[in-house]
Amino acid sequence: MSEKKEPSVWQGFKAFLMRGNVIDLAVAVVIGAAFTNIVNSVVKGVINPLVGAIGTQSLDSYSSCLKAPCRGSGDDAEGVKILWGSVLGATLTFVITAAVVYFLMVLPMSKYLARMEARRKAREGTKEILEVTELEVLKEIRDALVAQRGSGPAEPPAGPGRF
pTM for the full predicted model = 0.46
- Residue 155's pLDDT band, with cuts at 50, 70 and 90, is low
Whether 129 has a pLDDT exceeding 80, the answer reads no
Alpha-carbon distance 124 to 19, whole Å? 33
Plot region of 6 (φ>0 → left; ψ -120 to 50 → alpha; else → beta): beta
Residue-wise pLDDT tens digits, 35-90: 888 877 877 788 777 777 777 667 777 778 877 777 766 566 677 778 888 888 78
As a whole number of Å, the CA-based R_g of the chain is: 36
